[in-house]
Amino acid sequence: MLDTTRLGNYFRMSPFSFECNIPNYFQPLHLRVQSAFISLQNMSRYPLKYYQIPPLFAEPYIINGFRSIHQPWPYYWKSLFHKHNETINVWSHLLGILYMGYLLVYYYRKLNFYENPHSWPFAVSLCTAIIMFMCSAFAHLLHSKSESVHMTCFLVDFLGVSLHGFGSGFIQIYYSAPEWFYEKIEYQYITVLLLFGILACFLNCFAQYHFHRPYPPLKRFCQFFPCGLLWIYSITPLCIRLYSSNISSNPALMCHLAQIILFVIGATLFGLDLPQRLCPGALDFIGQGHHLFHLCIYFVTVCQMHGVYWDYEEFQSIIDQRRKPELIFCAGSMLFLVACDFVIVYMFRRKIHKNHHLD
C-alpha cells in the first residue's frame, strides 16, 4: 500500500466531502479563474505587436504584449511588476529561486551539509537548480533591451540549462540508482555527464549565434538534441529503478515518474509551439507553450528534489557505507562545468558583440 505519511509532510490535503454538490462547489472557482484569465489577457501595459519590433524578438504565434527595445534599464526592471508576454516566464522561475532557496535551508537542517559528506551531491544539485532558475528569470526579464543584450541573456540561460542538467544527473546517480548500477558506473557517469553538459551549452550557444530569423529546423535540432541527450542520460538511473520496482507503493518512485512525464509534456508543448499554434494571439499573456514549459520545469525540479530525498531516507544505510565523496569532487565538478560554460558563453558573446559593432 502507498505510504501517504511522508507525502502529507509536503502536501496539505484540503478537506472535501463527496456529499456536497460538486458542480456548485467548482462553479464559483471556475468563474473566478475565467474572470482572472480574461482580465489578464485584456490588459495592455505593453501593447506592442510582433510587427512593431525587430524580428529577433518576435516569437511564433505570439501577437501582442512585446516590450519596446532600447529603453533605459529601469524600464525592464519595472516590467517585472507589469503584464507582458514574458511575465509568466519570469515569475515562474523567480518562484523557483525562492522555493529552491527554501529547500536549501530545509535540507541543510535535515542532512547537515557541513558535517555529512554524503549530503554534498544534494547541496550541489540544489545550487545548480537555483542558478538555472536565476539565469532563466533574468534572461526573460532583460532580453528586450537590445539585440546584443537579447542574445547575451540567452547565452547565459543556456549555461543555466547545462548546469541544471548536470546537477540533476549528479544526485540521481548518487541517491536513486540501484547499488549495482552505481558501483559499476559511478565516476564514468559523472565524466560523461560533464561532457554532455558542455556539449549542450556549446551547441545551444552556437545555434543562438549562427542562425537568424526565420529560423531553420536545424536551429531547434542543435538546441533540442544535446539537451535531450543530457536529460535522457541524467534520468537513466531513474528509468532502471522504475523498470524494476513497484511504483505505486513508493512515493519517491511516483515523484520520479511524475518528473519524467512533466518534462516530456513541457518539452513537447515548447518544441511544437502548442497550444498557441492553434489560436495565435489568444494566449499571448498566459497559457502559451513557453509558459507551460517553465511551469513544468518548476514542478519537475520539485518532484526531483523530494523524490531523491526520500530515496536517501530509504537507502541511507547503504549510501553511508560508501566511500565518502570528496568536497573537491562534488564542488569541483560543478565549478569545472561553470568555468567551461563561461568560456563558451564569453567566446560567443565576443562574436556577437563584434558582429553588432560592425553592423
How is residue 350 written as a grid cell? 565576443
Question: Binding site: residue ranges?
Answer: 140, 290, 294
Reference 102, options 77, 137, 133; nearest CA is: 133
Question: Binding site for Zn(2+): residue ranges?
Answer: 140, 290, 294
Q: How far is the C-alpha of 219 from the C-alpha of 16, rounded, in Å? A: 49
Cα 5 to chain centroid, rounded: 28
Phi-psi region of 250 (alpha: psi -120 to 50; beta: other; left: phi over 0): beta
What is the three-class DSSP state of 336? Answer: helix
Q: How many other C-beta atoms lie within 10 A of the C-beta of residue 282?
A: 15
Q: Is there a contact between 166 and 193 (Cβ–Cβ < 8 Å)?
A: yes
- Cα dist. 72→51, 76, 78, 145 in Å? 22, 8, 11, 8
Torsion of CA 195, 200, 204, 210, to 10 degrees: 40
Reference 160, options 183, 185, 128; nearest CA is: 128
